């Protein structure tokens, strides 16, 4: 029997696109934070726990600059 692990979802911020609206932080504060200039950073390495995937999707859909990307390891 093989044991397959589900791909790990991670969020990434394209710093060149982020304009610092902070919507992502409001919608998913467990996954995003702001730096001292008000631009978004991912919390930790950006790994999204299964119970936060809906919030990650919501934040991605509501970023007006399309600065949030999903990556799967
Ligand atoms: S919503 Fe998008 S543009 Fe705004 S802070 Fe978050 S990543 Fe940056």
pLDDT band at 73 (very low <50, low <70, confident <90, very high): confident
Take residue 10 and report the two structure tokens written for it: 């991670």
16 Ramachandran zone, left/alpha/beta (phi>0; psi -120 to 50): alpha
Instruction: Please indicate, yes or no, if residue 1 is contained in any of the structural domains.
Output: no
- Specify the pLDDT at position 2: 62
Which CATH number do you get for residue 38?
3.30.70.20
Which tens digits make up the pLDDT trace of 12-42?
Answer: 999 999 999 899 999 999 999 999 999 999 9
Write down the number of H helices and E strands in the chain.
Answer: 2, 4
Burial label, 28 (beta-carbon count in 10 A; 0-12, 13-18, 19+): buried
Going by alpha carbons, the residue nearest to atom 8 of ligand 1 is 18
How many angstroms does the Cα of residue 39 sit away from the middle of ligand 1?
7
Which tens digits make up the pLDDT trace of 37-67?
Answer: 999 999 999 999 999 999 999 999 999 999 9
- Specify the pLDDT at position 4: 72
Domain count within the chain: 1
- Cα–Cα separations (whole angstroms), residue 43 to 3, 5, 7, 26: 29, 23, 19, 13
């Amino acid at each position: 029997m093989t044991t397959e692990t589900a791909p790990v979802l991670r969020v990434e911020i394209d710093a060149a696109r982020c304009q610092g609206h902070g919507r992502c932080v409001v919608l998913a504060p467990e996954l995003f934070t702001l730096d001292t200039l008000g631009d978004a950073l991912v919390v930790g390495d950006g790994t999204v726990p299964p119970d936060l995937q809906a919030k990650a999707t919501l934040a991605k859909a509501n970023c007006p600059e399309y600065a949030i990307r999903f990556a799967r390891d």
